[in-house]
Each structure stands twice: as C-alpha cells, then as structure tokens.
Amino acid sequence: MSMEAIVVDLSDIGLRDLELYAEDAVYRVGDVVLTGRAAIRERMEMAPPRRAKHVYTNILTHRDGTQLHGTADFVYFEQVDQTITPRSMGRVLDTLACLPEGLRIVEHQVILA
C-alpha cells in the first residue's frame, strides 16, 4: 500500500475506529479543537447516524523522521432523502506517528473551503 493510501485510509477509517488515533491526538475542524481520544469519541458519538462518504484528491505526503504528514483536498457527500448531496469541501492535514502501539493519527485538521 502506498504512503498516500495509508494517510487517506487512516484518516477516513479514523472517523469510525477511534483506536487509530493516538491517546493524546488533536482533532481540529474550523474553530473546534478536541484534544485526546476520549474528547474525540465524545464529540463523534453526539453526531446522528448518517450515510456519508469522503472523496479525496490531490494527496501529498512526506516523511519526517518517525512522522508521516499528509494533505488532501476533499468533498464530503451525504445521503439526504435518497439523494447523494455534496455537503462540504476543503483540505485535510494529517500527521501520523510510529508509536509503540503502531501507526497512529496524532493530529487531524480539517480546513473548510
């Protein structure tokens, strides 16, 4: 699997599987900053269930020692009344680190367009 695929997979899967975030991860969307896996979990559990998908493009990655940095542009689609609708778009900035428990997301930032 390419480094680009790892960044995208962990970023998208991380929204469902919070164990892929480091215990002290930082999650930023706009002005909202959540620190720690517990805070991220609490916020995500407040969201109503929905059928949605992120589509990523312009993926760039680089390695800096034990960290992997990735950027990607995205469009977020959501199903509303049987219609798939684009709901938001922007850029994602991710930092992943090789920790003793494995590769983990240490920072996830969403910059909305």
CA dist., res. 81 & res. 92, Å (int): 27
pLDDT confidence bin for 12, thresholds 50/70/90: low
pLDDT at 5 over 60: no
What domains sit in the chain, N to C, each tagged with a CATH number? 3-112 (3.10.450.50)
d(CA 36, CA 42): 10
52-64/67-80 β-pairing: antiparallel
Strands 67-80 and 83-99: antiparallel
In the predicted model, what is the mean pLDDT of the chain? Answer: 84
What is the per-residue pLDDT across 47-97, written as a single tens digit (0 to 9) for each? Answer: 777 778 888 999 999 999 889 999 999 998 888 888 889 989 999 999 999
DSSP lists the bridge partners of residue 105 as 21, 96
| pLDDT reported for residue 50 | 74
Model confidence, pTM: 0.80
